Amino acid sequence: MREIVFDTETTGLSFQGGDRMVEIGCVELINRVETGRTFHAYYHPERDMPAEAFAVHGLSSVFLGDKPLFAAAVDELLEFIADAPLVAHNAGFDFSFLNGEMRRCGRPLVCTTRMVDTLQLARSRHPGAKHSLDALCSRFGIDRSHRVLHGALLDAQLLAQVYVELMGGRQIGLGLVADAAIVAPSATRRDRADVPMRPSRVFRASPTELAAHAAFLQGIDIPLWGVDASH
């Protein structure tokens, strides 16, 4: 099964309020194992970058000034995600910006039935705990020491590891149980008439070995088995 784990960076919290998506990062999973294929893009937001958003991701208006508009580069994104389920943390937020950009450039919206929300998964599996990406990385022992600022691709890569852990860990992709269930046991030698049966092997100490063992015992000064338990 192919899935895409993704994350976005934006100019703020509300597309309807005038904010825009400025970065997206995607990680491909096959049977919940990373394939190494990723997609990463920056977009010109056609507006200024608020200081609050810059403090989160460090993407300035100057840096984004020569980046393409979303409408001009959307085909590459759509080709990568294809029809795969889309996994995100607090996925409603990311979907609101993704579909906001799609609507703005006249493209069909990404169906929300494809949405997999790791925040909801974490809440259901670990109620009462902290569910931020940082907290989940700590819970599962995932190294995030290189995460100084938010970055869409970096966060998607961390989230991919978190998602695999939330879904049961890396052993889920091995597929051993299903294979074992359909393999019939092979015929044993006892079931095959064309193979002659060997007589059972008898393992018994030889007289020489018995004599050597007796001599060894004689050389033990105070054997434990000869001690009077009453003393």
Angle between helices 91-104 and 70-81 (to 10 degrees): 130
Ligand-binding annotation for 165, yes or no, is: no
Ligand-binding annotation for 52, yes or no, is: yes
Cα torsion at 161, 162, 164, 167 (round to 10°)?
180
DSSP string, the chain: -EEEEEEEEESSS-TTTT--EEEEEEEEEETTEEEEEEEEEE---SS---HHHHHHH---HHHHTTSPPHHHHHHHHHHHHTT--EEETTHHHHHHHHHHHHHHTTPPPPPGGGEEEHHHHHHHHSTTS--SHHHHHHHHT---TT-SS--HHHHHHHHHHHHHHHTT-GGGGS-HHHHHHTPPPPPPGGG-TTSPPPPPPP----HHHHHHHHHHHHT-SS-GGGS-TT-
Query: Which residue of the set 89, 150, 213, 231 is catalytic?
Result: 150
Judge contact between 4 and 80, C-beta under 8 A.
Answer: yes
- 44 is known as an active-site residue: no
Write the single-letter amino acid at 88: A
Ligand-binding annotation for 155, yes or no, is: yes
Ligand-binding annotation for 9, yes or no, is: yes
Ligand-binding annotation for 57, yes or no, is: yes
Residues placed in the known binding site: 7, 9, 52, 57, 155
Task: Tell me which residues are annotated as active site.
Answer: 150
Residues placed in the known binding site for a divalent metal cation: 7, 9, 155
Residues placed in the known binding site for substrate: 7, 9, 52, 57, 155
